[in-house]
Chain A
Amino acid sequence: MPTNITRDELQELICGGAQLVDVLPPAEFAEFHLPGAMSIPLKDLDATTTAGLSRDKPVAVY
């Protein structure tokens, strides 16, 4: 079950090496996004687009 996190908790996760995924539409990602985030829009989220992510590391989405 996914865990809801706060801004502070996200920063801790990022420092610990978590993967960060922006699931907003590409245009919104292009405008501005969190440092280090990769763009995988919600409607494109599948096994192929997430192949570059490690299943063994935490992943945070926004």
Chain B
Amino acid sequence: MSPRAAWRLESLGFTEVYDYVGGKADWIAGGLPVEGELANVPRAIDVVKQDVPTCGPFDRIADISDQVEAAREDVCIVTNDEGIVLGRLRRRALTSDGGKDVHEVMEPGPTTTRADAELEGLVERLDSAGVRSMLITTPEGRLLGVVYREDAERYLAERR
């Protein structure tokens, strides 16, 4: 939407026009304040866990399993050099075949949500899907971290 608006403004005689393509989701991903009726609603960014294990698609499973174990996590998020989410490795894959590369055993294209997602709705989606976590990314798909259902439920309960 904003690219068309930027061009429209130029056609209206504005000479210095900038397009913030990332928009509200990117702004919130940066932890910056917003205004409005729902400005203070709990969002994914409020409880995102950022220090999650990551690996590259061409890393060897054997080389990363210790890192994941040390972090006491069940998963390793597969990202490229730009931090874009490519896939996810679950514990089962991490312990299966240490001689393989990550891209051979990862789950490609995991579901992600943006940082400005309302937390209450996110918890409902996790509940109905029967999963305990959700990857949070920027609008471009860059990993911000993981929201765990129990963290989100605790945060919401504390604010009620």
B-binding residues in A (CB < 8 A): 1-7, 9-10, 13, 18, 21, 23-24, 29-35, 37, 42, 45-47, 50, 53, 55-62
Interfacial chain A residues near B37, Cβ < 8 Å = 30-32
Quick check: A32 and B36 within 8 Å, CB to CB? Answer: yes
B21 within 8 A of A: yes
What are 16 A-to-B residue pairs whose CB atoms are below 8 Å?
A2-B6, A5-B20, A7-B20, A7-B26, A7-B32, A10-B18, A13-B18, A32-B37, A34-B35, A45-B5, A45-B8, A56-B15, A60-B18, A61-B2, A61-B6, A62-B2
- Bound together, the chains give a CA A3 to CA B91 distance in angstroms of 44
The 8 A CB mask of B3-42 against A (1 = contact, 0 = none) is 1111111101111111111111011001011111111010
Quick check: A62 and B9 within 8 Å, CB to CB? Answer: no
Q: Given A4-B19, A23-B1, A42-B1, decide whether A59 and B36 contact each other with a Cβ distance below 8 A.
A: no
Chain A nearest CB: distance from B49 CB in Å? Answer: 21
Quick check: B8 and A7 within 8 Å, CB to CB? Answer: no
Quick check: A45 and B30 within 8 Å, CB to CB? Answer: no
Quick check: B17 and A62 within 8 Å, CB to CB? Answer: no
Quick check: B24 and A34 within 8 Å, CB to CB? Answer: yes
With most chain B CB atoms within 10 A of its CB, the pick from A9, A42, A56, A61 is A61
Q: Which 7 A-B pairs have the closest CB atoms?
A: A2-B6, A32-B36, A23-B5, A62-B20, A60-B18, A58-B16, A62-B23
